[in-house]
C-alpha cells in the first residue's frame, strides 16, 4: 500500500518542503527566508534532550563560522518537519534539493557535525548540470 506523499521520508533529490520551526532556544525559523539564498543543514532532535545531545549541539555550534563560509544555514529543532526523520539530519542546496539524509536512533548516532560540514562544502562545489549529463 502506498503511503501518502506527506508521510514519505525525503530522499536524495527530493525537495525540502517549506516549513517553520522553533529552535531549542525558542527562536522561530522560517525556511522561505533562506530558500534560494543559502544551503540548509536541518537537524531534528527527539522530544526529550540528553547529555549526548548537548555534546553534539556544542560541536555543531563550534562549526557555525565554517558553515557560514559555505553559505549554509544550520537549523536545529525538536519540531517535526514533514518528510524529515527525527532524530535525523538533512543537507540541501539553496534551491531545496536534498543531497543527504540520515536517520538516527539518537543524537550520538547522528552524522557528525564535521560530516555535515563536508556535505555543505560539497553542495557549494557540485555541478548539477554535470551530474545530469552523467545520468
What digits encode the pLDDT tens for the residues 8-25?
A: 889 999 999 999 999 988
Distances (CA, A) of 91 to 11, 14, 25, 51: 10, 11, 21, 24
Domain over 12-124 is classified CATH 3.40.30.10: yes
Q: Which pLDDT tens digit goes with each residue over 91-121?
A: 999 999 999 999 999 888 999 999 999 999 9
> The whole model's pTM is what?
0.88
69 pLDDT exceeds 80?
yes
- CA pair distance 109, 87, nearest whole angstrom: 9
- The 8-class DSSP code of residue 15 comes to B
What residues does each domain of the chain span? 12-124
Amino acid at each position: 500500500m502506498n503511503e501518502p506523499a506527506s508521510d514519505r521520508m525525503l530522499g536524495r533529490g527530493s525537495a525540502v518542503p517549506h516549513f517553520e520551526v522553533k529552535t531549542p532556544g525558542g527562536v522561530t525559523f522560517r525556511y522561505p527566508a533562506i530558500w534560494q539564498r543559502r544551503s540548509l543543514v536541518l537537524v531534528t532532535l527527539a522530544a526529550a534532550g540528553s547529555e549526548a545531545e548537548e555534546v553534539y549541539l556544542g560541536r555543531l555550534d563550534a562549526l557555525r563560522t565554517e558553515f557560514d563560509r559555505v553559505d549554509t544555514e544550520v537549523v536545529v529543532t525538536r519540531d517535526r518537519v514533514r518528510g524529515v526523520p527525527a532524530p535525523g539530519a538533512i543537507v540541501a542546496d539553496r534551491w531545496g534539493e536534498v543531497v543527504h539524509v540520515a536517520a538516527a536512533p539518537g543524537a550520538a548516532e547522528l552524522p557528525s557535525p564535521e560530516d555535515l560540514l563536508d556535505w555543505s562544502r560539497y553542495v557549494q562545489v557540485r555541478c548539477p548540470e554535470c551530474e545530469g549529463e552523467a545520468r
